[in-house]
């Protein structure tokens, strides 16, 4: 199920409203929760931040925690999005040799870089439970969301590290 075109503008306005009242990790957590609540095919939503050659999970919302709270940029679908500096859509995670498994239910994944100028400072990572869950409508929408998140990612970088299990928004 794609993102319906009539849902895009209201959703982006909601993202703006969240970012108008929250910042840093709190804002990122609220965005994860909002995306998941608004679009049922977003089963698990997380935001990773790039720290040197590692991705660090700053916020997430979903049915379960991931063991991959840090991911080397050299690895995974998440790492590939940073290395290649582009959105990655995996139609069927079972066909992707780089895929790092988090949840038994995951069949498809989309990873969208968050940029500050030329640098990839983080990414939105979303898992879905259906093959080919994501298409160009998700890419376009999530790239617009990602454009708005660079400031919150920078603010999260200045916050003390999260304690174990505390990054979840809910
Ligand atoms: N599947 C990702 C790891 C992160 S989890 O999906 C939350 C990857 O292959 O990089």
DSSP assignments along 57-86, one per residue: EEEEESSS--S-SEEETTSHHHHHHHHHTS
Q: Is 47 in the pocket of ligand 1 (CB under 6 A)?
A: no
Q: Check pLDDT > 50 for residue 22.
A: yes
Query: Backbone phi, then psi, for 154, in 5-degree steps?
Result: -65, -40
Q: pLDDT value at position 2?
A: 85
Give the residue from 149, 155, 151, 163 showing the smallest Cα distance to 46.
Answer: 149
Question: For ligand 1, atom 2, which residue shows the shortest CA distance?
Answer: 100
Quote the CA–CA distance of 111 and 55 in Å, as a whole number. Answer: 12
Rounded to the nearest angstrom, the distance between the alpha carbon of 70 and the centre of ligand 1 is: 10
| Beta carbons within 10 angstroms of residue 69's beta carbon | 17
Q: pLDDT value at position 164?
A: 59
The band of 170, judged by pLDDT with boundaries at 50, 70 and 90, is: very low
- Mean pLDDT, the chain, integer: 95
Give the residue from 1, 75, 70, 85 showing the smallest Cα distance to 38.
Answer: 1
Query: Helix (H, G, I), strand (E, B), or coil: what is residue 50?
Result: strand
Quote the CA–CA distance of 13 and 16 in Å, as a whole number. Answer: 5
The answer to whether the CB of 73 falls within 8 A of the CB of 55 is yes
Mean pLDDT along residues 29-52:
98
| Beta carbons within 10 angstroms of residue 116's beta carbon | 14
Q: Check pLDDT > 80 for residue 140.
A: yes
Q: pLDDT value at position 166?
A: 57
Mean pLDDT along residues 41-60:
98
Q: pLDDT value at position 161?
A: 78
pLDDT tens-digit readout, 81-106? 999 999 999 999 999 999 999 999 99
Q: Check pLDDT > 90 for residue 165.
A: no
Q: pLDDT value at position 31?
A: 98
Q: pLDDT value at position 46?
A: 98
Mean pLDDT along residues 148-168:
84
Query: Helix (H, G, I), strand (E, B), or coil: what is residue 126?
Result: strand
* Termini Cα distance of the chain: 25
Mean pLDDT along residues 65-91:
98
Quote the CA–CA distance of 122 and 94 in Å, as a whole number. Answer: 25
The best mutation among 101, 112, 128 to test binding of ligand 1, ranked by most ligand atoms within 8 Å of the C-beta, falls on 101
The band of 20, judged by pLDDT with boundaries at 50, 70 and 90, is: very high
């Amino acid at each position: 199920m794609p993102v319906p075109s009539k849902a895009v503008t209201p959703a982006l306005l909601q993202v703006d409203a969240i970012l108008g009242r929250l910042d840093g990790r709190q804002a990122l957590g609220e965005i994860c929760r909002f995306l998941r609540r608004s679009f049922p095919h977003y089963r698990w939503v997380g935001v990773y931040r790039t720290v040197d050659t590692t991705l660090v999970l700053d916020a997430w919302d979903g049915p379960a925690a991931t063991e991959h709270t840090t991911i080397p940029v050299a690895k995974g679908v998440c790492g590939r999005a940073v290395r290649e500096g582009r959105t990655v859509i995996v139609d069927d995670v079972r066909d992707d040799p780089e895929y790092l498994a988090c949840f038994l239910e995951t069949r498809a994944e989309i990873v969208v870089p968050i940029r500050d100028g030329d640098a990839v400072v983080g990414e939105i990572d979303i898992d879905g439970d259906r093959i080919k869950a994501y298409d160009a409508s998700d890419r376009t929408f999530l790239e617009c969301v990602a454009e708005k998140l660079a400031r919150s990612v920078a603010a999260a970088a200045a916050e003390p590290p999260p304690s174990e299990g505390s990054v979840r928004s809910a």
